[in-house]
Amino acid sequence: MSSAFKDRRNRRHCGVFRSFLYACAGINSALKNETNMKIHFFISFFVIGAGFFFSLSPVEWLFVLFAIGGMLSLELINTAIERAVDLVTKEEHPLAKEAKDIAAGAVLIYAVLSVAVGLIIFIPKLL
């Protein structure tokens, strides 16, 4: 194998590793700076603990994990949109407000769906 090929391959692997580091830095930044992200993260740990306590079935775990993963992902996307809009304009602009409100609306819809999933799964276990 030529050394040029090895160098290219190592850079590509290093780039993939670096992209994971950037992603972790983004998650860390949101956890430090965003109250809603902290709330979602805390609730996620509580729900996971409840899942172990109530011995959820594999299918129930799938629904719970997709609800948690989707919620955290949407909160990150919402935060990214807010940051990008704030970078473009500090002034109150109707389109900037609308972009932020729409992103927040997506989070709200998924939060309601996640609560519904949680109620469907956990209420029978409580009764």
Residue 90 buriedness (CB in 10 A; 0-12 / 13-18 / 19+): exposed
Q: Considering the domain 34-126, what is its CATH architecture?
A: Orthogonal Bundle (1.10)
In 102-115, which positions are buried (b, 16+ CB within 10 angstroms) versus exposed (e)? ebbeebeebbeebe
Catalytic residue list contains 75: yes
Q: Is 92 annotated as ligand-binding? A: yes
CB atoms within 10 A of CB 33: 11
Distance, in Å, from the CA atom of 90 to the CA atom of 74, rounded to the nearest integer, reads 23
- For residue 40 the two structure tokens come to 């979602």
State yes or no: 75 annotated in a binding site: yes
How is the chain split into domains, by residue range?
1-32, 34-126
pLDDT band at 27, cuts 50/70/90? very high
Determine if residue 93 is labeled as part of a ligand binding site: yes
4 pLDDT above the threshold of 70: no
pLDDT tens digit string along 39-93?
999 999 999 999 999 999 999 999 999 999 999 999 999 999 999 998 888 788 8
- Active-site annotation holder among 56, 71, 74, 75: 75
